[in-house]
Amino acid sequence: MTTASLPPEDLTRPASARPVAEPRDAAPRPGEPIASETLFAGAREVQILHRGSLYRLKQTALGKLILTK
């Protein structure tokens, strides 16, 4: 995630204090954080196609995230 598009005042706040995208039909603006609940939509794993390669983003039982190629 790039923070280049966030206003300067948002860069000085910790990530936990920045606004998070809520579930909705429209895609978030570039640089806007996406809530993991929105990304996973109830699943434990999502597949991400990036530059022709497939990645898997998984949630662990402890709530951590693992990205694998």
- Are residues 2 and 30 located together in one domain of the fold? yes
| Distance (Å, whole) CA 57 – CA 40 | 9
- Are residues 29 and 54 located together in one domain of the fold? no
Q: Which residues 6+ apart lie within 8 Å of 65 measured at CB?
A: 36, 57, 58, 59
Count of structural domains within the chain:
2
Q: Above 60 in pLDDT, residue 14? A: no
- Are residues 45 and 29 located together in one domain of the fold? no
- Tens of pLDDT, residues 15-64: 555 555 555 556 778 888 989 998 899 999 999 999 999 999 999 999 99
- Quote the pTM value: 0.57
- Tens of pLDDT, residues 51-62: 999 999 999 999
Query: DSSP assignment, residue 17?
Result: G
- Are residues 3 and 26 located together in one domain of the fold? yes
Cβ proximity of 6 and 18 under 8 Å: yes
In 2-64, which ranges are continuous DSSP H helix? 8-11, 36-40
Residue range of the domain that includes 49: 41-69
| Distance (Å, whole) CA 20 – CA 28 | 9
Q: Above 60 in pLDDT, residue 66? A: yes
